[in-house]
């Protein structure tokens, strides 16, 4: 991983909820094919928009508490958090343009 950052149940509050800029959380799993399709797109977006938004990845198998708290039922689920609150969420692999729109909706 390059521009994106991994978060855990333990670091979620600091890395996401207390962030001073919007955060896109990629709830993913190792066994998830669509997650692997989305990952390189998120890396690109993180490089292009890194000054405006943080992009983090949370492995739901390793961090079930946070996934449960936000009722993540399928992966990938991409949720934008702003000021500690989830503001927008989409499930499934989406094209880069749609991911960028999702982020821009929170800026």
pLDDT at 52 over 50: yes
Alpha-carbon span 24 to 99, nearest angstrom: 9
Mean pLDDT of the chain: 95
Coil vs helix vs strand at 92 = coil
Active-site residue list: 32, 35
Average pLDDT over residues 22-39: 97
Are the C-beta atoms of 6 and 39 separated by less than 8 Å? no
Quick one: what percent of the chain has pLDDT higher than 90? 94
Closest among 35, 40, 21 to 103, alpha carbons compared? 21
Render pLDDT for 54-101 as a digit per residue (tens, 0 to 9).
Answer: 999 999 999 999 999 999 999 999 999 999 999 999 999 999 999 999
Confidence (pLDDT) at 101: 95
Neighbour tally for 105: CB within 10 Å: 12
Average pLDDT over residues 41-57: 96
The pTM score is 0.95
Average pLDDT over residues 33-58: 96
Confidence (pLDDT) at 2: 64
Alpha-carbon span 51 to 63, nearest angstrom: 27
Neighbouring C-alpha atoms within 13 Å toward the C-beta of 46 = 20
Average pLDDT over residues 24-29: 98
């Amino acid at each position: 991983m390059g521009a994106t950052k991994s978060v855990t149940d333990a670091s979620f509050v600091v890395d996401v909820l207390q962030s001073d800029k919007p955060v896109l959380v990629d709830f993913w799993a190792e066994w998830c094919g669509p997650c692997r399709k989305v990952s390189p797109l998120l890396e690109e977006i993180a490089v292009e928009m890194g000054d405006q938004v943080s992009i983090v990845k949370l492995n739901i198998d390793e961090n079930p508490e946070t996934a449960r708290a936000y009722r993540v039922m399928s992966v990938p689920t991409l949720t934008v958090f702003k000021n500690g609150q989830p503001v927008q969420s989409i499930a499934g692999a989406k094209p880069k343009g749609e991911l960028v729109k999702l982020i821009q909706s929170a800026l």
